[in-house]
């Protein structure tokens, strides 16, 4: 059955079909599950690094409260996100109590997560040659430092437009309901586009990366709203799982989110698909890239 489906899809040259074909052949569902597990393990280390960086800035004294409000408003599904954000921030706030060995372990865990993402994106972009270890280390270091900066930009936009929505900052009424989600999700879009452009060990056109990032952001926001609506209509879910109901919901959300991000990466990769002759010319001019 799966073979017949792939054979039929192989005869259709249409972007959504090509993305679906690659999603199946590259086993992206299994990859998303693996990334979800790695993210679950590394959520606190990543938040710890972010807290440690931004807590040194004077404008982020109440960083934890702003992060929790932002995560619940725009990134995590309601109710389950409340539990997850609360405990993730509580654990990450203890980063100051870590010894040097503990801090090193946190940094290593965060680096391993980035290495996993790096490896999977290079598979999606059909990269045959890995970058040198020192280049990978520099890339991970930049991403670890860029992450808190992007989160800071997200929070700044969120705080500004939240103030505008309450009338603290003069804003036309029509703009409040539109600009708040757009402005707060814009840095996330740019972050994903930058991820698709910088992580694969090959050249990626900025236009393709931006389109892939936009697809991922729209998918993430739509899935978050859909999950929030579904669990609001299905209160029996909390009765079934009891006090642990937030764990499977959050795992489902993580896997769905990574699946959507991988779809965005596939869109970016397929937009840049070349004919064999074009690929050979590109390979000769750019030795770092090696894709079909």
Look at 155 and 249; give whichever has higher pLDDT: 249
Evaluate if residue 260 carries a pLDDT over 60: yes
Is 93 a domain residue?
Answer: yes
Highest mean pLDDT among 49-63, 66-80, 113-127, 138-152: 113-127
| Residue 283 lies inside a defined structural domain of this protein | no
50 lies in a domain? Answer: yes
Residue 51 lies in a domain: yes
- Confidence band (pLDDT; 50, 70, 90) for 198? confident
If one counts the domains in the chain, the total is: 1
Asked if residue 201 belongs to a domain, the reply is: yes
Q: What is the pLDDT of residues 124-149, one digit of tens each?
A: 888 877 778 778 888 787 777 766 66
For the cut 60, the answer to whether the pLDDT of residue 88 exceeds it is no
Q: With respect to residue 177, please indicate whether it lies within any of the assigned structural domains.
A: no
Nearest in space to 149 (alpha carbons), one of 113, 188, 122, 110: 188
Q: 213 is written with which tokens?
A: 């990032």
What average pLDDT score do residues 265-287 get? 65
- From 57-66, 177-186, 257-266, the region with the lowest mean pLDDT: 57-66
Report residue 215's pLDDT band, with 50, 70 and 90 as the boundaries.
Answer: very high
pLDDT attached to residue 276:
43
Instruction: Report the 3 state secondary structure along the chain.
Output: CHHHHHHHHHCCCCHHHHHHHHHHHCCHHHHHHHHHHHHHHHHHHHHHHHHHHHCCCHHHCCHHHHHHHHHHHHHCCCCHHHHHHHHHHHHHHHHHHCCHHHHHHHHHHHHHHHHHHHHHHHHHCCCCCCCCHHHHHHHHHHHHHHHHHHHHHHHHHHHHHHHHHCCCCCCCHHHHHHHHHHHHHHHHHHHHHHHHHHCCCCCCCHHHHHHHHHHHHHHHHHHHHHHHHHHHHCCHHHHHHHHHCHHHHHHHHHHHHHHHHHHHHHHHHHHCCCCHHHHHHHHHHCCCCCCC
Domain that holds residue 208: 23-152+183-272
Residue 67 domain flag: yes
Is residue 138 domain-resident? yes
């Amino acid at each position: 059955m799966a073979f017949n489906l792939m054979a039929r899809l192989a005869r259709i040259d249409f972007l959504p079909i090509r993305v679906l074909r690659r999603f199946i052949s590259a086993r992206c569902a299994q990859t998303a599950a693996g990334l979800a597990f790695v993210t679950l393990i590394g959520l606190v280390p990543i938040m710890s690094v972010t807290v440690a960086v931004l807590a040194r800035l004077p404008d982020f004294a109440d960083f934890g409260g702003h992060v929790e409000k932002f995560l619940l408003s725009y990134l995590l599904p309601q109710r389950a996100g409340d539990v997850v954000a609360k405990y993730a921030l509580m654990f990450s706030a203890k980063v100051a109590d870590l010894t040097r060995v503990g801090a090193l372990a946190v940094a290593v865990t965060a680096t391993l997560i980035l290495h996993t993402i790096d490896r999977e994106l290079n598979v999606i972009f059909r990269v045959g040659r890995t970058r040198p270890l020192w280049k990978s280390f520099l890339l991970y270091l930049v991403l670890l430092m860029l992450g808190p900066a992007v989160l800071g930009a997200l929070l700044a936009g969120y705080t500004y437009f939240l103030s505008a929505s309450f009338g603290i900052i003069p804003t036309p009424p029509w703009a409040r309901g539109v600009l708040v989600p757009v402005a707060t999700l814009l840095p996330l879009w740019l972050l994903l586009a930058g991820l698709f452009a910088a992580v694969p060990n090959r050249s990626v056109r900025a236009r393709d990366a931006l389109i892939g990032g936009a697809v991922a952001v729209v998918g993430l926001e739509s899935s978050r709203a859909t999950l929030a609506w579904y669990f609001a209509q299905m209160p029996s879910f909390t009765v079934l799982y009891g006090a642990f109901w937030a764990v499977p919901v959050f795992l489902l959300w993580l896997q769905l989110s990574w699946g959507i991000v991988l779809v965005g990466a596939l869109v970016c990769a397929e937009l840049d698909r070349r004919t064999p002759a074009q690929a050979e010319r590109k390979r000769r001019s750019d030795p770092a890239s090696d894709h079909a």
